[in-house]
Amino acid sequence: MNKYISDLCSFLDSSPVNFWAVETTRRRLEAAGFSALDMRHNWQIVPGGKYYITKNGSAIFAFVAGTAAPGEGGFHLVAAHSDSPGFRIKPHCEMLCDGGVVKLNTEVYGGPILYTWFDRPLSIAGRVMLRSDNPLEPACRLLRIERPLLVIPDLAIHFNRAVNDGVKLSKQKDMLPVLALGCDDAAGLVRATVAAELGVEAEEILDYDLSLYITAPAQTTGLNGELICSGRLDDLSMVHAGLTALLENADKPSEHTRVLAIFDNEETGSGTKQGAASPVLEHILRRITMALGGSETDYMRAVAQSFMISADNAHGFHPNYGEKYDPTNHPALGAGPCIKVNANCKYMTDADSAAVFARICEIAGVPCQYFVNHSDVAGGSTLGNILTSQIPLRGVDMGAPLWAMHSACETASTADHVATIKAFSTFFGM
Ligand code: ZN
């Protein structure tokens, strides 16, 4: 298997939810000599230095300071997101049912394809907040239960003969996972399980952000291994591509300050302190400029000469549903990363930024293609245009094409992933 693809599989497997995607990224940055900066402190940074900042434990921003000050060299950015659609565990989540069956009360996060979560072994991952001496600073522990713990069982076809004609699913009734059998009392079962896993007393747990995840690992498929199937390819495949490209170039000097920006909560509209609609990246870019001796004017000069690649997956042409796609711009899996274009500015791409990305791909020696919506089909939005409301950056929205976006198991092309890394690496190597 190609080294980038086996590395992508291990990245996906070690990143079951947003907090773990950030932790996996953080560990790789640390291993490559990046040092942590804290937003609460003053920063001491030097040209050529490698740094990162986390926000809420679910967003991460890494940069290599340019040999030129930002006012002279500008920023080269790749942005992507850490979150994926799925299910969050509610407080007071245990529900004891007839026969001692315990199911969990969950809430849907973002827009998953609900039925793809049926009948698969699931487990729990996220973060747990523990009692500490300072009420304003609870201790935080990441949790990932590796063994399968849950399943959302579908209804037998004998109870719904029309199931293959399409079923309307209730998020509150149909999608609740089963945790255990034979229980008399369910209250506190999740807390006790989490406490045992972390090796703490249940009373220490103040709260949690826990989600379900699918325990099946990422796998390649296709006659020649040309496809990869995994949960969370949107957008962790782009996170992996951006991170890999940054690490490949981090020790090569560049006058540009290279930035990898991984936001949270893209799937719910980016409207949190760690999301792309907040000023978090703007604060970071401004502080990098100032910490390297620049002025407010230098920051604005830096923004004016920067370029951002906003990387979020595109919809690849599906052989069973050709009618859903634009007649002349339907990207094929395996034919390279896609420039995403929308006349109503749902994407930040324009002819200028598309031209830049097309040239980057040309120099990288990889193909690139266009994604445009069928004019009667409303498309999604992504990070790029949301970010530009905070920072007037020049940039392009792009992404490798996927099938079954927001399925519990999405499918992409291995060749496209390698091509995307090469394009990002060329960009960061400039
Ligand atoms: Zn996405």
Q: How confident is the model at residue 344 (pLDDT cuts 50, 70, 90)?
A: confident
| Distance from Cα 226 to the centre of ligand 1, integer Å | 22
| Distance from Cα 232 to the centre of ligand 1, integer Å | 9
Given a contact cutoff of 8 angstroms between Cβ atoms, the answer to whether 79 and 176 are in contact is no
Query: Which segment of 114-123, 131-140, 380-389 scores lowest on mean pLDDT?
Result: 380-389
Predicted confidence at residue 166, as pLDDT, reads 93
Give the tens place of pLDDT for each residue, 100-122: 999 999 999 999 999 999 999 99
Give the tens place of pLDDT for each residue, 396-405: 999 999 999 9
Give this prediction's pTM. Answer: 0.97
Q: How far is C-alpha 223 from the chain's CA centre?
A: 28
| Distance from Cα 185 to the centre of ligand 1, integer Å | 40
Beta-carbon count within 10 A of 296 CB: 10
| Distance from Cα 49 to the centre of ligand 1, integer Å | 30
| Confidence check: pLDDT of 378 > 90 | no
User: For the residues 305-324, what does the mean pLDDT come to?
Assistant: 96
| Distance from Cα 415 to the centre of ligand 1, integer Å | 19
The structural domains of the chain, ordered by start, are 3-84+231-428 (3.40.630.10), 86-214 (2.30.250.10)
Cα–Cα dist 157/180, whole Å = 24
Predicted confidence at residue 7, as pLDDT, reads 98
Predicted confidence at residue 127, as pLDDT, reads 98
Predicted confidence at residue 148, as pLDDT, reads 97
Give the tens place of pLDDT for each residue, 202-219: 999 999 999 999 999 999
| Confidence check: pLDDT of 393 > 80 | yes
What is the Rg, in whole angstroms, of the alpha carbon atoms belonging to the chain?
22
Q: How confident is the model at residue 76 (pLDDT cuts 50, 70, 90)?
A: very high
Beta-carbon count within 10 A of 149 CB: 19
Q: How confident is the model at residue 361 (pLDDT cuts 50, 70, 90)?
A: very high
| Distance from Cα 264 to the centre of ligand 1, integer Å | 10
| Distance from Cα 248 to the centre of ligand 1, integer Å | 24
| Distance from Cα 180 to the centre of ligand 1, integer Å | 33
| Distance from Cα 314 to the centre of ligand 1, integer Å | 8
Give the tens place of pLDDT for each residue, 163-203: 999 999 999 999 999 999 999 999 999 999 999 999 999 99
| Distance from Cα 424 to the centre of ligand 1, integer Å | 17
Predicted confidence at residue 260, as pLDDT, reads 98
| Confidence check: pLDDT of 380 > 80 | no
C-alpha angle 57-62-369 in degrees, rounded to nearest 5: 105
| Confidence check: pLDDT of 264 > 80 | yes
Segment 402-407 long-range contacts (CB within 8 Å, at least 24 positions apart): 402/233, 402/234, 402/313, 402/314, 402/315, 402/316, 402/333, 403/316, 403/318, 403/333, 404/113, 404/116, 405/234, 405/313, 405/315, 406/85, 406/110, 406/111, 406/112, 406/113, 406/234, 407/112, 407/113, 407/116
Predicted confidence at residue 377, as pLDDT, reads 84
| Distance from Cα 233 to the centre of ligand 1, integer Å | 9
| Confidence check: pLDDT of 123 > 90 | yes
User: For the residues 319-331, what does the mean pLDDT come to?
Assistant: 93
What are the two backbone dihedrals, phi and then psi, of residue 339, each rounded to the nearest 5 degrees?
A: -85, 125
Predicted confidence at residue 384, as pLDDT, reads 86
Mean pLDDT of the chain: 96
User: For the residues 62-90, what does the mean pLDDT come to?
Assistant: 98
Predicted confidence at residue 192, as pLDDT, reads 96
| Distance from Cα 84 to the centre of ligand 1, integer Å | 7
User: CA nearest 34: which of 186, 197, 247?
Assistant: 247
Percentage of residues in the chain with pLDDT exceeding 70?
100
| Distance from Cα 64 to the centre of ligand 1, integer Å | 25
Predicted confidence at residue 174, as pLDDT, reads 97
| Distance from Cα 380 to the centre of ligand 1, integer Å | 9
| Distance from Cα 166 to the centre of ligand 1, integer Å | 26
| Distance from Cα 237 to the centre of ligand 1, integer Å | 10
